[in-house]
Structure 1
């Protein structure tokens, strides 16, 4: 081999070896931990599976579920699936769930003793939760308040309903009316579960369904979607709200809403200007209306000289 050719061969070998060594050094350097690549972090967050970052778990349906002491037959496949649906929907709608816990801490202490005094099982407080979210809501059909009472039902049970005063927004009075309705439904239909369903579908509607389908149990009825989901929703909310940590809801008592202390003033005359009236008691129009949402205008007509109780912040 002549000298020029030998020189070119040797030079090629040197260049190839140099390239291999350089590549190896770069690979080693890439493995050195930096601020961007911690030593204990083998992969980037973007490379992880979603399940490594956040888990959406199937829920185990508890055994022995009941509503007002009445068995929920989860041994039936369709009932199991309906309960499962409501548990999932209400567990993974986390923001709404937390709001229910917060509001319940504020309003259940008002609702619970009224249910007890009227012989209505405590579980019915969860009916108010699914009806209104424990707010003074208004439905497209015109039902109002925590218990979503229709105007005709309210008047039949002694509530005042007009443009000036609407006692469907009076929590204590509306709860008593709901108790009357539920007791009548229980007496007519024979169970608390059917009474709960009747709150949604009506006494007559439920009685007609039972008769036409030749059954005597809510869980044996073929119903429209709203009424079909109604009792399972109550059962699911009862289960979740009775066991918050089990379903992933973590909070301290201080995180929950508190019922503000009030004093009660009795009025048996008209109030020409509620804003001015509020100022006389060291408060304002907004605060007075928060505690008395049944007052619908800036006046209280009271031509009949009826006695009203008005709550004022203490």
Structure 2
């Protein structure tokens, strides 16, 4: 035989031997419904265990009611396997959670409402197809009603602190109207008038006793699932070292009491650029900033 043929045979034998060894190894398996074995390819998918008890804003979730338990179970299944969203949420929480939690506390809003904001936006400055915007997904008229500026130059729904204060005012009004934080949270999705009509027509007093459209029916349970998963990430297999999270942005404040006609030029004069100015102040929507007489805006700029 030629040397080339010997080499070919040697390679062929080596490949056959490797295949034989691999076939002898035991792959992870599970029993199917007929008692047979299923090759899971190294992955085992497990359903998360439903908590034995849970509360929202200090109010117990009636998990003894079958449909309540199943609705929570559904959202827990979904959110415990939304790996990308969960990791992004955990990263962003390191940047924003301390500030938002403190603002809620100062305004007598239970800390659990931070998960409502996460359910709305995942701490992202997004705008919905319906026109709701910011961390708290406020509609333009609602935002204006709570004192926020919304126009072509400024949209304070994207101002984390001011939007959180506006959402807090709404939630306090809803709590006063409905008597519970659970109902207040549901009204954030349904609207106060919409929830009030549903409660009156169905002659009940609790969100958990209402028959609702799919979106509102699932809404509070999504919040509860986020509280459970993001509040106990390692229990659900999510491990995120602190250094991989998004840290608070170091910034200084500048009080602006007169109109800035050219924000890019202003940014350059402050030793930064327009992109950084917008990232630190996402409520700015234009290339100029008009300041009415007697008013002021506080801008965040990079620390020198």
TM-score, normalised to structure 2, is 0.89
Contact 2:28 2:41 (8 Å CA) reproduced: no
Q: Which runs of 5+ in 1 are unaligned?
A: 1-29
Q: Which residue number corresponds to residue 12 of structure 1?
A: none
Q: Which residue number corresponds to residue 32 of structure 2?
A: none
Contact 2:28 2:43 (8 Å CA) reproduced: no
- Classify 1:304/1:42 alpha carbon distance in 2 versus 1 (closer, same or farther; 3 Å): same
Matched, 1:179 2:171: no
TM-superposed CA distance for 1:76, in Å, is: 1.1
Q: Which residue number corresponds to residue 19 of structure 1?
A: none
Q: Which residue number corresponds to residue 8 of structure 2?
A: none
1:7-156 alignment runs, 5 A limit: 34-35=17-18, 37-38=20-21, 42-43=24-25, 49-51=38-40, 53-156=42-145
- Provide the aligned C-alpha RMSD in A: 2.2
CA distance in 1, matches of 2:240, 2:130: 36
- Classify 1:148/1:52 alpha carbon distance in 2 versus 1 (closer, same or farther; 3 Å): same
CA distance in 1, matches of 2:259, 2:75: 48
Contact 2:27 2:39 (8 Å CA) reproduced: no
TM-score, normalised to structure 1, is 0.86
Equivalenced residues, count? 285
Name the SS of the counterpart of 1:105 in structure 2.
helix
**Per-residue deviation, residues 69-88 of structure 1 (Å, max 9, x unmatched):** 11111111111111011111
Name the SS of the counterpart of 1:310 in structure 2.
strand
TM-superposed CA distance for 1:303, in Å, is: 3.7
CA distance in 1, matches of 2:247, 2:220: 28
TM-superposed CA distance for 1:105, in Å, is: 1.0
Runs of 4+ with deviation above 2 angstroms = 30-38, 43-52
**Per-residue deviation, residues 72-130 of structure 1 (Å, max 9, x unmatched):** 11111111111011111011111111011011111111211110000000000000001
Name the SS of the counterpart of 1:148 in structure 2.
coil
- Classify 1:50/1:115 alpha carbon distance in 2 versus 1 (closer, same or farther; 3 Å): farther
TM-superposed CA distance for 1:49, in Å, is: 3.6
**Per-residue deviation, residues 255-309 of structure 1 (Å, max 9, x unmatched):** 1111111000000001111111111111111001001011100101224352110
- Classify 1:189/1:268 alpha carbon distance in 2 versus 1 (closer, same or farther; 3 Å): same
Contact 2:281 2:300 (8 Å CA) reproduced: yes
Higher Rg: 1
